[in-house]
Chains A and B, each alone.
Chain A
Amino acid sequence: GEDVEQSLFLSVREGDSSVINCTYTDSSSTYLYWYKQEPGAGLQLLTYIFSNMDMKQDQRLTVLLNKKDKHLSLRIADTQTGDSAIYFCAESIEGGGNKLTFGTGTQLKVEL
């Protein structure tokens, strides 16, 4: 079945790197995604990675995928206060139609 898990909280200092982790159980994932939710707003797509890739970089964001261990991570370089938000990983599954299964979300707090 589909199960996507994340740690609940992460606190970092401004300027440091943040690493948010995600594990999933379904081995037939096609794409994996990272979404960001700011207070009082809907989720916003940050980046995604095809399941046959192991890394994708997009400016300050680096996505790493270990398909063998079913582990996905999002690294944010030079973390800023504006990066404070909840980060969700999600997966789409072959044969699953348009459905995305979202993780539990990680609250990132950036301290000065």
Chain B
Amino acid sequence: DAGVIQSPRHEVTEMGQEVTLRCKPISGHNSLFWYRQTMMRGLELLIYFNNNVPIDDSGMPEDRFSAKMPNASFSTLKIQPSEPRDSAVYFCASSVAHPVEKLFFGSGTQLSVL
């Protein structure tokens, strides 16, 4: 199994541009999570899906952020327009539901907004 696959690995963009981060979860996993990691705020849960349905998006910072999961093997996190304060490492993780949440993380996307 290739694990959770995220792309791109690194993204450098200018303020105001649209950014799309992609994630392919592990086959057979039915939960998918998007986390953001920064030095200041640590690891924050942005949104998670069960069976492709968004369950909790209370961590999404604002309307500039949106996430979709059109099928069980693909998810996107979009930032439009991007701002310098969005610079962070964005992780996607997947798991098989309950009761023990063994999350498998991707390698992350390092986003720099100039």
Number of B residues whose C-beta is below 8 Å from A? 25
A98 cross-chain contacts in B, Cβ below 8 A: 31, 33, 48, 50, 55, 95, 97-98, 101
A92 to B98 Cα, complex, angstroms: 10
Q: A92: nearest residue on chain B (CB-CB)? A: B101
30 A/B residue pairs, CB under 8 Å, sorted by A: A30-B99, A41-B107, A41-B108, A42-B4, A42-B93, A42-B105, A42-B107, A43-B43, A43-B105, A45-B103, A45-B104, A48-B102, A88-B43, A92-B100, A92-B101, A97-B56, A98-B31, A98-B33, A98-B48, A98-B50, A98-B95, A98-B101, A99-B56, A100-B45, A100-B103, A101-B45, A102-B42, A102-B43, A103-B42, A105-B42
B98 cross-chain contacts in A, Cβ below 8 A: 98
Closest Cβ–Cβ distance, residue B72 to chain A (whole Å): 15
The total of interchain contacts (Cβ-Cβ below 8 angstroms) comes to: 56
Q: Which residues of B contact A (CB under 8 A)?
A: 4, 31, 33, 42-43, 45, 48, 50, 55-56, 91, 93, 95, 97-108
A44 to B4 Cα, complex, angstroms: 12
Number of A residues whose C-beta is below 8 Å from B? 22
Closest Cβ–Cβ distance, residue B48 to chain A (whole Å): 6
Q: A33: nearest residue on chain B (CB-CB)? A: B101
